[in-house]
């Protein structure tokens, strides 16, 4: 390969790898002062010895100009020595360096060539010696930049060694050969050195890359461990870590802060109706809406499912906390666009304040949860601040749980029955069994309370078994046209095995299955739609009937409900309370009655207390009704009296009541 081609190749290789060029230039930069020092000293020495033999311009001005140039370059080096080169800078610096080597190499060689003929043989030998030592010294300084070293070698050999050869003096010819050979040997050494250097830079680079990789991996792991991948909000772990840190710091500084738990109302339904992908979109949107509300000192996190957490770093007054909670609830209750449909959701927040509600992570979390629970039960879509009322509820709840665990359920549980009345025939159609619990220590415990508490544990399964058996024992004694309506907790339709067990209890009782109707609440079916569907289908196939209880209190639409095999729907009593005075309630009751008729479902209107309410719902087309107006829930023996014909008039109590 020709020198020029080699030079180009060297340059090209270098340009292909600017990072390597940068490392080389940095290494070379450290030798620059030495290089100029050597040039200055050597040149000055030659100029001094030639001051009488050579003309002034050659012995004084030219070397002075060359030395000045060296000093200028040295000063420039001093100025920029701290500069950090970019990859682009490196390539252009290399080009400049090659030009400089070319120009200075040519200038010094030319000067010595012109100076050589002057003076004695000693002075001539000094010039030759000057060129040889300076060449070796400079090549050593340029050893990191192989192309520059080769360029310099080529210039000196071509311009100066030829001068020595043309002297025809054997000593000078030997010197020229010597100089060339030493130069070539140096070039080989530099070549080998450059290879080692390139290898070392490569290894260093690999090490850095692997360190960066390790750092990136550990960053990724940190992210995965602390960020919820769906919403990009901090996750449960991160929330609890912050909560812990905040409690510790605030404890030390005797300040305050607030913890909020947010639960979405209606999310389950979106998931069931539109699918999990749409559910994910809703959660992402919720995450984005919460993030938009974040500000310094206010953090949001996703705790799992449709539960979110918020930490408010300042001690807020109750008014501010309610105002902030309302802002969050408002943001969450704006419509969501999913799969081309508009979904309506809302969020409820329970707040707990440090230190009023608690000072430990567990206390704060439990109390925010208690406030949330209270909100979900009675004030959905609004913020609730933990209060002593909730505290009392927690205490009562753990007391009831304790007693329930140790209760003799067989002895303490019993039933009352409330007739479901036919407005056309004025006769009872069936009776709804309502569980009752009398505990020696607690006295009578409301069914809503003990059922809710039992539902949090496996105890509910035993309770249902005992109550269902007791209810079926009673049914066996009723006239055969009356059916039993029995309330089922959500868990009873959550597995096929559980549904199977209910069917077995009914078969074992000897009561024909068509006389048994199971009431399931809307919230129970929306917990796991697919499972509810298969359990209800099993119950239906066994010959029992199923009824949707408390319709209108959840979020389901009738079209959704229609996908489940219900025989009847019970309109919740909240719509009935003001059906005679509130036109909205009246419209709702009417539309549900109409829809049931169209879908071929029976409809029971619950909670009728006044004759006016009864008249209104009758006019709207209701036939099956229930409520204190017709009968309160009755003890088993009172049911007997209610159903037994009075000996004197031959009418049942119910018929007599209807006639009066």
Residues near ligand C2E (CB under 6 A) are 418, 433-435, 446-448, 451, 467, 487-489, 549-550, 573, 607-609, 626-628, 633
Structure token pair of residue 271: 């998931």
- The smaller minimum CB distance to ligand C2E, of residues 156 and 539, is found at 539
CB of 382 to Ca ion, least distance (A): 24
Rounded Cα distance, 525 and 556, in Å: 10
In terms of Cβ atoms closer than 10 Å to its own Cβ (0-12, 13-18, 19+), residue 592 is buried
Structure token pair of residue 421: 């009345």
- The smaller minimum CB distance to ligand C2E, of residues 528 and 550, is found at 550
CB of 415 to ligand C2E, least distance (A): 7
Q: Binding residue for Ca ion (CB under 5 A) from 285, 492, 550, 655?
A: 550
CB of 539 to Ca ion, least distance (A): 16
Residue 83 gets which letter from DSSP?
Answer: P
- The smaller minimum CB distance to Ca ion, of residues 492 and 549, is found at 549
Residue 222 binding target from ligand C2E, Ca ion, none, CB below 5 to 8 Å by type: none
- The smaller minimum CB distance to Ca ion, of residues 64 and 595, is found at 595
- The smaller minimum CB distance to Ca ion, of residues 14 and 520, is found at 520
Contact (CB, 8 A) for 417 and 633: yes
Residue 607 binding target from ligand C2E, Ca ion, none, CB below 5 to 8 Å by type: ligand C2E
- The smaller minimum CB distance to ligand C2E, of residues 18 and 435, is found at 435
Q: Contact region for Ca ion (CB under 5 A) — 78-86, 362-370, 491-499, 543-551?
A: 543-551
Nearest to 304 by CA among 364, 238, 350: 238
- The smaller minimum CB distance to ligand C2E, of residues 183 and 607, is found at 607
Residue 447 binding target from ligand C2E, Ca ion, none, CB below 5 to 8 Å by type: ligand C2E
- The smaller minimum CB distance to Ca ion, of residues 238 and 568, is found at 568
- The smaller minimum CB distance to Ca ion, of residues 333 and 523, is found at 523
Q: How far is CA 602 from CA 113, 389, 461, 556, in A?
A: 119, 40, 28, 18
* H or E stretch at 303: strand 298-304
CB of 567 to ligand C2E, least distance (A): 16
Q: Contact region for Ca ion (CB under 5 A) — 341-349, 499-507, 514-522, 576-584?
A: 514-522
CB of 508 to Ca ion, least distance (A): 23
Rounded Cα distance, 56 and 73, in Å: 25
Structure token pair of residue 556: 């389901």
Q: In sequence order, what are the beta bridge partners of 349?
A: 262, 383
Contact (CB, 8 A) for 326 and 382: yes
Residue 24 binding target from ligand C2E, Ca ion, none, CB below 5 to 8 Å by type: none
CB of 404 to ligand C2E, least distance (A): 14
Please list every residue from 461 through 500 that binds Ca ion, using CB under 5 A.
487
Q: How far is CA 280 from CA 92, 339, 341, 524, in A?
A: 53, 11, 15, 22
Q: How far is CA 15 from CA 89, 92, 146, 367, 534, in A?
A: 11, 9, 14, 67, 71
CB of 503 to ligand C2E, least distance (A): 17
- The smaller minimum CB distance to ligand C2E, of residues 112 and 521, is found at 521
CB of 606 to Ca ion, least distance (A): 5
Contact (CB, 8 A) for 329 and 347: yes
Using CA of residue 189, residue 192, residue 197, residue 200, what is the dihedral sign?
negative
CB of 469 to ligand C2E, least distance (A): 12
Q: Contact region for Ca ion (CB under 5 A) — 24-32, 72-80, 364-372, 550-558?
A: 550-558
Contact (CB, 8 A) for 270 and 343: yes
CB of 273 to ligand C2E, least distance (A): 24
Q: Per rule CB under 5 A, is residue 549 in the interface with Ca ion?
A: yes
The half-sphere exposure of 578 on its side-chain side, counting CA atoms within 13 A, is 6
Residue 235 binding target from ligand C2E, Ca ion, none, CB below 5 to 8 Å by type: none
Residue 644 binding target from Ca ion, ligand C2E, none, CB below 5 to 8 Å by type: none
Q: Per rule CB under 5 A, is residue 519 in the interface with Ca ion?
A: yes
Total number of residues binding Ca ion (CB under 5 A)? 4
- The smaller minimum CB distance to ligand C2E, of residues 149 and 493, is found at 493
In terms of Cβ atoms closer than 10 Å to its own Cβ (0-12, 13-18, 19+), residue 531 is middle
Q: Per rule CB under 5 A, is residue 49 in the interface with Ca ion?
A: no
- The smaller minimum CB distance to Ca ion, of residues 265 and 519, is found at 519
CB of 357 to ligand C2E, least distance (A): 29
Q: How far is CA 70 from CA 101, 129, 454, in A?
A: 12, 20, 94
- The smaller minimum CB distance to ligand C2E, of residues 107 and 434, is found at 434
Name the residue number minimizing CB distance to ligand C2E. Answer: 435
CB of 300 to ligand C2E, least distance (A): 34
Q: Per rule CB under 5 A, is residue 418 in the interface with Ca ion?
A: no
Long-range CB contacts (within 8 A, 24+) of 242-248: 242/299, 242/301, 242/311, 243/311, 243/361, 243/364, 243/365, 244/361, 246/311, 246/313, 246/354, 247/354, 247/359, 247/360, 247/361, 247/364
CB of 563 to Ca ion, least distance (A): 21
Q: For the CA atoms of 75, 77, 79, 81, what is the dihedral angle to 10 degrees?
A: -150
Give the per-residue SS3 of 525-564: HHHCHHHHHHHHHHHHHCCCEEEEEEECCCCCCHHHHCCC
Residue 379 binding target from Ca ion, ligand C2E, none, CB below 5 to 8 Å by type: none
Q: Footprint of Ca ion on this chain (CB under 5 A)?
A: 487, 519, 549-550
């Amino acid at each position: 390969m020709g020198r020029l081609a080699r030079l180009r190749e060297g340059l090209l290789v270098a340009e292909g790898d600017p990072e390597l060029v940068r490392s080389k230039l940095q290494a070379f930069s450290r030798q620059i002062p030495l290089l100029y020092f050597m040039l200055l000293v050597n040149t000055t020495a030659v100029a001094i010895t030639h001051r009488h033999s050579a003309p002034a311009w050659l012995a004084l001005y030219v070397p002075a100009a060359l030395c000045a140039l060296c000093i200028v370059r040295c000063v420039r080096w001093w100025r920029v020595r701290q500069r950090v080169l970019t990859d682009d800078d490196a390539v252009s610096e290399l080009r400049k360096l090659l030009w400089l080597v070319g120009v200075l190499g040519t200038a010094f060689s030319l000067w010595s060539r012109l100076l050589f003929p002057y003076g004695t043989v000693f002075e001539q030998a000094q010039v030759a010696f000057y060129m040889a030592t300076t060449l070796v010294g400079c090549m050593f300084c340029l050893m990191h930049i192989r192309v520059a070293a080769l360029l310099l070698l080529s210039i000196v050999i071509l311009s100066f060694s030829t001068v020595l050869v043309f002297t025809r003096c054997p000593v000078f010819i030997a010197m020229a050969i010597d100089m060339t050979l030493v130069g070539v040997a140096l070039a080989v050494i530099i070549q080998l050195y450059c290879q080692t250097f390139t290898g070392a830079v490569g290894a260093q680079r690999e090490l850095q890359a692997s360190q960066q990789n390790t750092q990136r991996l550990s960053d990724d792991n940190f992210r995965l461990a602390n960020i919820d991948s769906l919403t990009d909000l901090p996750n449960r772990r991160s929330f609890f870590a912050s909560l812990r840190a905040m409690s510790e710091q605030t404890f030390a500084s005797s300040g305050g802060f607030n913890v909020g738990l947010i639960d979405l109302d209606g999310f389950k339904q979106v998931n069931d109706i539109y699918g999990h992908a749409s559910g994910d979109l809703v959660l992402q949107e919720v995450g984005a809406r919460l993030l938009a509300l974040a500000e310094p000192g206010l953090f949001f996190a996703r705790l799992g499912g449709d539960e979110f957490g918020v930490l408010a770093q300042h001690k807020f007054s109750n008014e501010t906390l309610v105002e902030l909670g309302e802002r969050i609830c408002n943001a969450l209750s704006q419509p969501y666009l999913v799969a081309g449909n508009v979904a309506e959701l809302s969020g409820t927040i329970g707040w707990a304040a440090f230190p009023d509600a608690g000072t430990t992570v567990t206390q704060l979390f439990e109390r925010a949860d208690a406030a949330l629970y209270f909100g979900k039960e009675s004030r959905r879509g609004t913020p609730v601040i933990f209060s002593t009322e909730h505290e009392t509820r927690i205490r009562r709840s753990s007391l009831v749980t304790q007693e329930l665990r140790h209760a003799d359920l067989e002895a303490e549980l019993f039933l009352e029955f409330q007739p479901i009345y036919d407005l056309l025939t004025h006769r009872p159609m069936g009776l709804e069994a309502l569980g009752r619990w009398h505990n020696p220590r607690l006295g009578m415990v409301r069914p809503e309370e003990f059922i809710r508490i039992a539902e949090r544990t496996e105890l509910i399964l035993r309770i249902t078994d005992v109550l269902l058996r007791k209810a079926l024992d009673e049914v066996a004694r009723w006239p055969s046209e009356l059916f039993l309506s029995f309330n089922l907790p959500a868990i009873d339709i959550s597995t096929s095995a559980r549904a199977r067990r209910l069917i077995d209890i009914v078969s074992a009782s000897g009561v024909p299955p068509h006389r048994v109707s199971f009431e399931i609440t809307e919230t129970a079916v929306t917990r796991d739609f697919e499972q509810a569907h298969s359990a209800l289908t099993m119950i239906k196939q066994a010959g029992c009937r199923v009824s949707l209880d408390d319709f209108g209190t959840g979020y389901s639409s009738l079209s959704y409900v229609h996908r489940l095999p219900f025989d009847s729907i019970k309109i919740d009593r909240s719509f009935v309370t003001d059906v005679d005075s509130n036109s909205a309630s009246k419209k709702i009751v009417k539309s549900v009655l109409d829809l049931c008729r169209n879908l071929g479902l029976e409809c029971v209107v619950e909670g009728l207390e006044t004759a006016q309410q009864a008249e209104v719902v009758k006019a709207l087309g209701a036939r099956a009704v229930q409520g204190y107006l017709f009968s309160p829930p009755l003890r088993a023996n009172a049911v007997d009296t209610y159903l037994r014909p009075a000996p004197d008039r031959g009418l049942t109590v119910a018929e007599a009541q209807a006639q009066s």
